[in-house]
């Protein structure tokens, strides 16, 4: 599984790069704080409900959650489903908020 740090991701976003982001947290977590990712909770990925993500299959996709655990699981699942380039955001939103407080 590939990873990306919050510093690397932030630098890419600040440079105006279009990065595909997928948030695998629950809706209430997403509404509390997010960095603009498409909400697709881990439970849907575990049930192989990835139709909404199919168009991203051959592109780089950064997956994030609260701490990096659920997003790591999602990356592994998506890789087994044929997604070619998924990256887990190390430390998730906890690391993001620690490094880039609002």
CATH classification of the domain holding 48: 3.40.250.10
Q: How many CA atoms lie within 13 A of 88 on its CB side?
A: 19
pLDDT digits (tens, 9 = 90+) for 49-100: 999 999 999 999 999 999 999 999 999 999 999 999 999 999 999 999 999 9
Residue 2 neighbours by CB under 8 Å, 6+ apart: 75, 85, 86, 87, 88
Domain that holds residue 27: 2-99
Our count of domains for the chain comes to 1
pTM (predicted TM-score): 0.96
Write out the catalytic residue numbers.
65
Structure tokens at 73: 């699981």
Distance between CA atoms of 5 and 44, rounded to whole angstroms? 25
């Amino acid at each position: 599984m590939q990873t990306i740090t919050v510093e690397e991701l932030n630098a890419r976003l600040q440079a105006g790069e279009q990065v595909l982001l997928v948030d695998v947290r629950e809706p209430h977590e997403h509404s509390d704080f997010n960095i603009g990712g498409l909400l697709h909770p881990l439970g849907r990925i575990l049930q192989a409900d990835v139709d909404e993500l199919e168009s991203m299959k051959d592109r780089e996709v950064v997956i994030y959650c609260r701490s990096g655990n659920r997003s790591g699981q999602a990356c592994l699942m998506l890789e087994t489903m044929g997604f070619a380039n998924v990256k887990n955001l190390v430390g998730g939103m906890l690391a993001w908020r620690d490094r880039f407080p609002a």
